[in-house]
Chain A
Amino acid sequence: MHRIVKRTAGRLAPALVVLTVGSAAVAEETPNPYTSRIDIRSGARLYRAKCTSCHGINATGGEEADGPDLTTGRFEHATTDTGLFRVIREGVADTAMRGLKRDTDQEIWQLVTYLRTLAGTASATDLPGDPEAGRAIYDARGCAECHAIAGIGGRLGPDLTFIGDERSPNELRTDLADPSADVDPRWWTLRITHQDGSLSEGLRMGEDTFTLRIMDADENLRSFSRQDTSSVERIKESTMPPTQLSPEEGDDLVAYLFSSRMPS
């Protein structure tokens, strides 16, 4: 959806030109130095203190002051972090967007970081891929053997029914290209050798000081006492094979997955 653009583009385009020319910092793109989780929290605090009256508590746009939706991943007056910094610092001429003149650079960067996290709530139509084509790829590649969407599919991979609410498009791209890059311990594999030499293997449902719980390949839930094992191996790689997709197919699949979300 593009409602911000429709609502404000006419009025604000000249202001961006002025800012672009007028700011000394424009010449160079400065990487945002404050991008950790603590910066997201600090940025969120600043957002609540300074921004909600126009942009709304959920940053989806204000009712009375007509502030734009900040959750689409696209901003009318900036594409880069430096551009966002500048807009927040200096404001946008001839609009209700006033700059935050008194806040420190650190705080402005933290606000930028926070705003970037809101992009995960954008709609799939903002993405380059075709969700319908992505659905066809999902079906053809057999993703449903392990993953489920709306109750249809397997349980040997994460449920994807609301994956669009949980992962950003960029995170989904990484997940597809390199499934083992960042595996939640829930999806590690435990390879358990019992005292009698037999082997059990499955996804790590639970593990503690005294017991082990897995889901085996047949989706059986099994529990073992550590006392009865001779060794336990943790395999921290994903069980998902890397997907061989063309860039276009990747865009389509990401668009489809990103559209899989809780109805608003």
Chain B
Amino acid sequence: MILRASALVIGVLLQGVPVIAQSPAADDPGLFSPVTWDRLVNAADEPHNWLMYHGTFASQRFSELDEITSKNVSKLTLKWVHQIPALDRAQTTPLVVDGVMFITESPSNVVAVDADTGRLFWRYEHPLPDDLKLCCGRNNRGVAILGETLYMSTNDAHLVAIDARTGTLLWNSEVADHEKSYTKTAAPLVVKDKVITGVAGGEYGIRGFIDAYDADSGHLAWRTYTIPGPDHPDNATWEGDSWKTGGAPTWLTGSYDPQLDLLYWGTGNPGPDWNGDVRKGDNLYSSSVLALDPDTGELKWYFQFTPHDVWDWDAIQVPVLADLEIDGRTRKAMLWANRNAFYYVLDRETGEFLLGKPFAKQTWAEGLDENGRPILKPNVFPSTEGTLVAPMAGGATNWWSPAYNPRTGLLYLNAFDGEALYFQRDDDYEEGEIFLGGGTEMPQDVANYQSSIRAIDADTGEISWDFPITPRTRSGVLTTDGGVVFSASVDGFFFALDAEIGEPLWQISLGGRPHASPSTYAVNGEQRILVTMGNSVYSFGLAE
């Protein structure tokens, strides 16, 4: 379904994409100007802006801004706060384009504000039906931009295009049927003239997919199912018809390598989550990373982190792209700290497994074999009476962004050394209804488990440092060329650590729970640090 609000307008705006426009100088953001494909590819060259969900296509969540350093971060002061009206989990990473900031709000709204003052230009409110079935809140994590158009997922599983200057709806495409419990929460990713987007619903027996829409028209360009159909040999990794309700959603934004022209996207858990008896086999391509041709959606390679996942360990993490020295060779690598407690390094050109080591407590695998496949310990599957396994279903880490700092060679992430009792139960699939096949419990209070910001040596997988968090963190991480790591704790602290050694440098109690990842930008030549906590977006800068 395509609802055309203003076909003529978009035609004019996007005709001949990429639009040619000069990137503004770093110290003079100038006025909002179209975000061309060239600007997106070279987003790292304009660090005063934050042009896509992960900052750049490499998704390192690293910024070359260096006004705020480990030496002066203690002088950070609050510049402004934007209060989100709807009370829910605020998961947004705002975009910043030439002094204008685009903040998504729960449930499926977006505002444009002045990045210097936080004051409003416009708000777009997406109408939603009242029969939504959402596993995990009315969330939205952000928009994508191309030219002068924003692209946003909505909770009713639509993709909308919005005029970045006015907030006017340009088109509205149904991606999937929300009555079948598909939903959409993640920021899309623009690749060339297409908008790439995924779906959520892995707890409802959906069949996951990744879509590409024509940025101009909103028409579907290609769809790649994350569970291959019966005409594909990998369909045999699902017993019987279980592939039809096998989940493998795609609810987080992927990455892109312009040189290799490959798109990378993680996939979620197979369904039902905890009863693998009804879906025997490896269940490809659940809990995997897929490498796709962004023009056609053709699968180039895949790597499955957790074959036959029966613990709900979605591979919904950020594919971090970096070039590493491994065994004396420079490798085009992908760094992946997985929910299953293993840190992986893959060759992002071929999918070859290069390295894998635990980064958090795990009791389910003896290790990984030479191809990166886990060697299971006995008696680790969910059971009637409950099987104790680490990590917990929420994972040793989760979807919150890690950050890779090429200056230190460290990957920073939130880590949790938890465990859970995994229960298997019978569950009949009913369209649109929750489909879990069991559940989990933590055997002890959360205060008994270790949570940390952990720094992993990207080349070796060794833990470089560990900063303990009490009670725990559910925030992503930002790192900068100023030698700082920023993150937050569930009880409302926003804090800065030394990127080299993990020592605390500064903290402030904001009181709200973080569900997002910090970011940074500059406006009027001044660096700002942005964090979303509770239902508010906070902008910090150095005291004048």
Interface residues, chain A, with chain B CB atoms under 8 Å away: 33-34, 36-39, 41-42, 104, 106, 184-185, 188, 207-210
Would A104 and B439 be within 8 Å (CB), given that A36-B421, A209-B493 are in contact?
Answer: no
Interface flag for B298 (CB, 8 Å):
no
Q: Looking at the complex, which of B311-319, B345-353, B466-474 is the stretch in contact with chain A?
A: B466-474
- A210 contacts across to B, CB distance below 8 A: 493, 495, 504, 507
Q: What residue in chain B is nearest A106 (Cβ atoms)?
A: B426
- A41 contacts across to B, CB distance below 8 A: 439
Nearest CB on B from A164, distance (A): 23
Q: In the complex, A115 Cα to B507 Cα: how many Å? A: 48
Q: In the complex, A34 Cα to B385 Cα: how many Å? A: 7
- Contact at A185–B438, with CB atoms within 8 Å? no
- Contact at A36–B439, with CB atoms within 8 Å? yes
Q: Looking at the complex, which of B32-40, B102-110, B152-160, B440-448 is the stretch in contact with chain A?
A: B440-448
Q: In the complex, A189 Cα to B386 Cα: how many Å? A: 31
Size band of the interface chain B makes with A: 20 to 34
Nearest CB on A from B469, distance (A): 5
Q: Which of B421, B468, B469, B491 has most chain A Cβ within 10 Å?
A: B491
Would A38 and B439 be within 8 Å (CB), given that A209-B493, A210-B504 are in contact?
Answer: yes
Nearest CB on A from B445, distance (A): 5
- Contact at B385–A104, with CB atoms within 8 Å? no
Given A38-B438, A184-B445, 13 other A-B contacts at CB below 8 A? A33-B384, A34-B384, A34-B425, A36-B421, A36-B423, A37-B441, A38-B441, A42-B425, A208-B491, A208-B493, A209-B468, A210-B504, A210-B507
A sample of 21 inter-chain contacts (CB < 8 A) reads A33-B384, A34-B425, A36-B386, A38-B423, A38-B439, A38-B440, A38-B441, A42-B425, A104-B426, A106-B426, A188-B447, A207-B470, A207-B471, A208-B470, A208-B489, A209-B468, A209-B469, A209-B489, A209-B504, A210-B495, A210-B507
Give B351-373 as 1s and 0s: 1 = Cβ < 8 Å from A's Cβ atoms. 00000000000000000000000
- B507 contacts across to A, CB distance below 8 A: 209-210
Q: In the complex, A88 Cα to B491 Cα: how many Å? A: 45
Q: In the complex, A207 Cα to B425 Cα: how many Å? A: 37
Give B15-45 as 1s and 0s: 1 = Cβ < 8 Å from A's Cβ atoms. 0000000000000000000000000000000
Q: In the complex, A33 Cα to B471 Cα: how many Å? A: 33
Q: What residue in chain A is nearest B472 (Cβ atoms)?
A: A209
- B438 contacts across to A, CB distance below 8 A: 38
Q: In the complex, A106 Cα to B507 Cα: how many Å? A: 50
- Contact at B470–A209, with CB atoms within 8 Å? yes
- B423 contacts across to A, CB distance below 8 A: 36, 38-39
- Contact at B491–A36, with CB atoms within 8 Å? no
Q: In the complex, A42 Cα to B425 Cα: how many Å? A: 10
Q: In the complex, A184 Cα to B447 Cα: how many Å? A: 9
Q: Which of A33, A38, A184 has most chain B Cβ within 10 Å?
A: A38
Q: What residue in chain A is nearest B447 (Cβ atoms)?
A: A185
Give B497-522 as 1s and 0s: 1 = Cβ < 8 Å from A's Cβ atoms. 00000001001000000000000000
Q: What residue in chain A is nearest B453 (Cβ atoms)?
A: A209
Q: What residue in chain A is nearest B489 (Cβ atoms)?
A: A209
- B441 contacts across to A, CB distance below 8 A: 36-38
Would A208 and B426 be within 8 Å (CB), given that A33-B384, A34-B384, A38-B439 are in contact?
Answer: no
- Contact at A209–B440, with CB atoms within 8 Å? no
Q: In the complex, A208 Cα to B441 Cα: how many Å? A: 23
- Contact at A33–B489, with CB atoms within 8 Å? no
Q: In the complex, A188 Cα to B438 Cα: how many Å? A: 32
Give B410-425 as 1s and 0s: 1 = Cβ < 8 Å from A's Cβ atoms. 0000000000010101
Nearest CB on B from A237, distance (A): 14
Nearest CB on B from A39, distance (A): 8
Q: Which of A33, A42, A104, A208 has most chain B Cβ within 10 Å?
A: A208
Q: Which of B384, B495, B507 has most chain A Cβ within 10 Å?
A: B384
- Which 8 pairs show the lowest CB-CB distances between chains A and B? A38-B439, A185-B447, A33-B384, A209-B469, A208-B491, A208-B470, A106-B426, A185-B445
Nearest CB on B from A116, distance (A): 17
- A33 contacts across to B, CB distance below 8 A: 384-385
Nearest CB on B from A109, distance (A): 10
Q: What residue in chain B is nearest A206 (Cβ atoms)?
A: B491
- A38 contacts across to B, CB distance below 8 A: 423, 425, 438-441
